[in-house]
Every structure is written in C-alpha cells, then in structure tokens.
Chain A
Amino acid sequence: MKPIKKIVVVGGGTAGWLTACIIAARHKGREASGFSVTLIESANTPTIGVGEGTWPTMRSTLSRIGVSETEFFRQCDAAFKQGALFSRWTTGQASDAYFHPLMLPQGFSHTNLVPHWLQQNLHKSSEQNFCDAVCPQGVICQKGLAPKTISHAEFEAVANYAYHLDAGKFAVFLQQHACKQLNVQHRIADVTQVKLTDSGDIDRLVLNGDQEIAGDLFIDCTGFRALLIGDAMQVPFKDCKDILFCDTALAVQVPYENEFSPIATHTISTAQSAGWIWDIGLPTRRGVGHVYSSQHISDEQAERELAAYIGKDSVSARKIKIRAGHRETFWKNNCVAVGLSAGFMEPLEASAIVMIELSAKLIAEQLPVCREVMDIVAKRFNATTLYRWGRIIDFLKLHYVLTQRRDSDFWRDNLDPSSIPDRLKELLLLWSYQSPWFHDEFNQVEEIFPAASYQYVLYGMKFKTQVEADTLQNTAKYAERLLRENRNLTEKLGLSLPYHRDLIMKIHERGLQTV
C-alpha cells in the first residue's frame, strides 16, 4: 500500500491558498503521522489578481478553515454581498433591472411560490416583481442595508450573504493563516520541470532548475498556465466559446466620491452592446470591469463603453484574455486541477471561487488513503466536477437566451439555437409548462445553482410559465400566508438592519463576537 500523505499544491492564487487551507484544516492532527501540505508559488508569475465576488459557501469555508470573520473583513477589504442586480439584460432599457438575491423564496422547502405569483400577476395591472414578492433581500439591497447587525456572531446571518473582497489581499490573508495556523509549508520557487513515473504519475517537480520535490498528490493551481494538468498530464481543454461568447475582460478600480459613500451590497451587472460590466463595491474602492466578445466589438469600443459607464472620457484598463471552457477531466493519475487551470467561464455569476471551494472540499473529504484507490476517487471527482461545469454553462447561458434584446449581433447570436446546449433547450421547454423547483430538477448534492437561482433569473427576466389554476388550490392558502409573511419580514428588516457601510466600519472598530 502506498499511502497518500504528502500533498503538493502548485500556485499561490486564490485557488492554491484556498485549496491548501481546506485540505490542511480537514486533515489537521495528522502531521504526526507524516501528513503534510506544501504550496509552491512562483515569484515571477503574478496571480490573476481579479475575482472579487463570492458565493455564500465562502462563509462556511472561512469558518471551517478557522479564520476570524472580523479579521477577514479588516484585512481583505471585504464587504457583504447579498446578490446581484442585472440591469438592462431583458429589454436593454435604462429602467430594466432585476435582482438575483441569495435568500431562498419564503417557504421554499415546502411550497413553490412561482405559480401562485404568476397567477396573481395575471389579474393585476401593475405587477410586483418576483424577487420582492417572495423574499426581502431585493429591498434590503436597494436600501443599502447590511445582512446582519453588530450583535450577530461571526458568520451568522439575518439575510443570507456572501462577500466581495480584494483578491490580492485575500491571497495574502489565506497564506498567513495557512502557514501560521495550519502548518502549510510555503516555498517560493518556479516549477521548471515535471518528472513522471513509468505509469504516468507525477513523481517529482523540479524547482528553479535544480531542486526537487516529491509528493503523493499534486494539485495544479497554476491558473491559466495549467502547468501540470495541461502541459505535463496532457489533458485537453474543452472550449465552450460556441455557447458563451465573451473572451476578453477590461478591469479598472474606481475610487469613491468620499469615505462615506454608500457601498453597494450586491454585484451590479449591466448589459452592454456585446457583453456586460461588473461593478463590485469594496469599502475602499469599486472594482469595475467590462467582459465582452472580441468577435463582436473592438477593444476600443469596449473601452468606450466602460468609460461611459464610469462617467469618464477614457479609461486605462487592464486587459485580460479569457478562454471559456474547462478540462476534459480534472483529476488524472495523481494530479488534480483546481481553479483557472481546471476551467473558467465569464464571471457573470461569480462561479469560479465557489468551484474552487467545492472542488477542494471534495478532494479534502474524499482524499484517497492510498494510491491503490486513487483512480476510483478520481473517477467520482471527475463525474461530479464535469456535472458542475455543465450546470454553470447552462445557468450562464440562461441569462442570454431569456433576453428580449435584439439591438446587436451579440444578443442576436446568443439566441442562435446551435449555441444553446440541448439540456438547456429541454429545460426551457419544460419550464414553459412547469416552473423549476428543487424536487424535480435538482437532485445533486451541492448543486452550484439551486432551483431558486433559476427561479429568480427566469421570472426576473419575464419568462412565461403556464399555470393551470386548478393545480394551485391545495396550496393557495399557504402561499397567501407566505407572501404576507414576506411583506411583514421585508418591512421589519428594512427598519432594523444597519446601513452596509456603517456595519463594516463597526466591524473594523469593534469586531464581531464569535458566538
């Protein structure tokens, strides 16, 4: 039996440090028997340095690896994220916007409110939007309120939340935690060569041309470089630019007017002529970027749109090429890829970091005891991960197929049936007769986007699902109650939650309690 004890992570970006922390925390206490996690990062290849929107999974991840949420807020320039506002995605008009919040619709686990809401709106002249009808978070976001108060403990929430954070500071923060608290070994060196065994496993890495490091499991977190999974293991990349067209990003940082300017507590995503602009509010600055299809507009045009969004004549933005797609497999022999090396799709729903968390958690929990069983674990990991990438593609594409915009080739091309995955086509047909709810369609544990997310996007974008009135009778009363309770809760939270910036300032000053 060849035990798996020496874990080598290559890459010190968000993926590398998160993965190292998650594995080290999960296997804490095994050091005495020779278990170790080593992270190698190059001083010459910078990290990507973007990626500032997360999912609520980050709360449990941070708590599980044992960091203090207070310190995280102080050191990572973090803010609360309670969802995303999608502006101009449906009709392209200035007034066109909907929320995709992080809270589930009221009573989600027992009742599907969608048909009830649809039915009610049939008979009303002015319709109440789906999000506000079923959950309070859209209103909380619009008012700029925090999802909790200073007397809620770390990681505890009134309204579900994730974070916006400074990616550079986050990597440093994780590094300190990993090295000081979790005994992760840190080596700064370039991996210059990968040596394989006869069976095709990675035997050792050559560092800086002369030193070597051996290991039992190698985790490729080298970003777009994909040094191990791509170069050494020769796993092909599966492109999906025929489905998702965006291939370039322009990123800038925008200062606030003053230190008291409100901080948005949701990501703002505003559709453009051939892509969209993200706008993420941190306490000290905003991070803004234009993600677009270079097939459809020139870089200059993209820059002009970004400048117009910020309200300037011109911008000097950092340009990042992105390649939509993922590896055909993610775990081959004793090498597994996590982060950009595994795949990337436009950051429309902040799916990259959550994929890192889920992958690292799966590796940590299923960590093969010995080489003899690693291929079995790898097979299962690959199946789950492939399923997840598939769902990300579907969900991102959903935003593009529901649009009513026809004002540019980009939007028109997105509706080309050949660009829509079959599974999504089928679901859209299904959903025109019955709305998605978690029982029917979503049975995978740790589904990246729960059925609630589909509901918010579908009905935020005015998707029409037929309703058979007589099927609603059973649950009509209960649904009425849920909708009423939601109105009460919305009002109550609107009055009791503090302003977002105020709470962050208080956290910096006083800290949150751990209980």
Chain B
Amino acid sequence: MARFELLSADQHQDLRLIAQGETPHFTSVITSEFFEAANSLPIMLTKNSETGEFFAVVILSMKSGEPPIKNLAQRGGFVPLSLQCQGFYISDQQIAIDRDNPRFSSTEGEALFTASRQPAECLRKVQHTLGKLHIGQEQNQAFIKAMTENQLIEPVDLDFSFEKGERISLKGLYSISLDSLHQLDDAKVIEFFRSGYMQLAYLVAGSLKQFNSLAHMRNQALLSKTETT
C-alpha cells in the first residue's frame, strides 16, 4: 500500500533517502532515454490501467518480484530517471512522497534536508530529475500520439521457455510495427525523420531483441543455480 504525503521540511526534517530502491519488473522511460535504454533493455509500450493510454517502459526482469536480470554494469550504467525518483511524485506542482517506499528511512541513507531545512544534495538531484521527467512526459505523449494515430503500435506475444520446463508469457506489451512503419507514405516518413520520431520508433522496434539477452541471462543464472545445489 502507498501512503502519500506532501514533502515538507517541517514534517520530513529527519527523513533519509537510500540511494537505490527495489528494482521493479519494469519502469517507465522517456524518449530522451531511449538511446541509452535500447542498448541493454527492451523498450515496450503498455497501457495505463486507469486510462487505457499507452506509456513507454523498459523491462528489467522477466517476472515481477525477481531481481533485475542485468546489473548496473551490464546496463552500461543506465539508471532510468523514473528509478532515480522512485518514491517521489509530483502533485499539483508540489513534490509528494510515498512514505511506505522502502527507500525512505530514518537511519540509513542521506538526509533529504540540511540542518537549515534546505533541500540537501540528494533531494536537489531528485527535484532536478522530476523536472526532466515532467517535461519528458509531454514529449512521450506526443510521440505516442503520433504512433497511435498512424497505427504503428502492435501487440506482441512474448512466450519464453526456461530450464525445467518453466514458461513465462508476458502480457499487455506492445511495440512498434516495422511493417506498418515501412508502409508510411513519403510525407510522413520525412515528417517523422525530421521530428526524430523515426529514430525513436526504430529504437523501440529494435530493442525487442534485448529480450533474447534477458532470457539467455536468466537461463544461465538458473543453470548455475542448479549446478551449485
């Protein structure tokens, strides 16, 4: 459960932030992160269950509850902005936090506020990142709108078989259809090229291949586990 509170120096003077939270199954990414993300992780589109609207995510593990398959080094140091802001939200121009997020502690981590009740370095970073995310959201929406309007989004079936007959199928994920992309008329192609959407679309479509490496690595991990036991 989440417990949201507006962040204030008064109330959260003693609160500390642990640098890294738990890594989820997937996390949202903005278009400015696509280049870096696509190098190591699949970028997928999925629907917001409240609104049905698409948003972009990177897949970090094959199953919720499992640790990320690639560590920081294997991701080339890539930490999605949304993870950097884990536990923080924007609510009516103000920063809110989810007190129940395990990143918040009264003993461990860096203090959020200085003794003089000013935002400390770590909170400044979060503020800055939240700002980037906020702007990024609008760009994401514009990109997704362009993809939806031109019917470029397609559902993908992802079924994986692992050691010992384990099967995992990921549901509700979408990508950009290369076939549909190739059918765009010339004017659209130029428009998308100029706006950068063409590259973004290819990055999304191409990053689908990263599932192979995720699945392979997970299988290797399973195998080495079996060997040791």
Contacts and interface: CB of A to CB of B under 8 A. Distances in A.
Contact of A506 (B47, B52, B148, B151): B52
A515 B53 contact: no
Interface string B30-51: 0000000000000000011111
Q: For the side of the interface on B, what is the size category?
A: 10 to 19
Report which residue of B52, B148, B153, B172 has the largest number of chain A beta carbons within 10 angstroms of its beta carbon: B52
B185 to A, nearest CB: 17
A513 B52 contact: yes
A151 B155 contact: no
A158 B109 CA distance: 46
Given A513-B47, A515-B174, A150 B52 contact: yes
B208 to A, nearest CB: 16
B51 A513 contact: no
A512 interface: yes
A118 to B, nearest CB: 37
B48 A151 contact: yes
A149 B49 contact: yes
A149 B151 CA distance: 21
A512 B155 contact: no
B188 to A, nearest CB: 17
Interface string B152-168: 01110000000000000
Contacts of A151: 47-49, 52, 172
A150 to B, nearest CB: 4
Contacts of A506: 51-52
A466 interface: no
Contacts of A123: none
Contacts of A439: none
B204 to A, nearest CB: 14
A510 B52 contact: yes
Given A515-B153, A515-B154, A515-B174, A150 B148 contact: no
A305 B155 CA distance: 51
A514 interface: yes
A514 B151 contact: yes
B104 interface: no
Contacts of B211: none
Interface string A475-515: 00000000000000000000000000000001000111111
A69 to B, nearest CB: 12
A513 B154 CA distance: 11
Contacts of B148: 513-514
B26 interface: no
A513 B54 contact: yes
Contacts of B151: 514-515
Nearest to B48: A151
Interface of B: 47-54, 148, 151, 153-155, 172, 174
23 contacts: A149-B49, A150-B49, A150-B51, A150-B52, A151-B49, A151-B52, A151-B172, A506-B52, A510-B52, A510-B53, A511-B52, A512-B52, A513-B47, A513-B52, A513-B53, A513-B54, A513-B153, A514-B148, A514-B151, A515-B151, A515-B153, A515-B154, A515-B174
Q: Which 7 A-B pairs have the closest CB atoms?
A: A150-B52, A151-B47, A151-B52, A510-B51, A515-B153, A151-B49, A515-B155
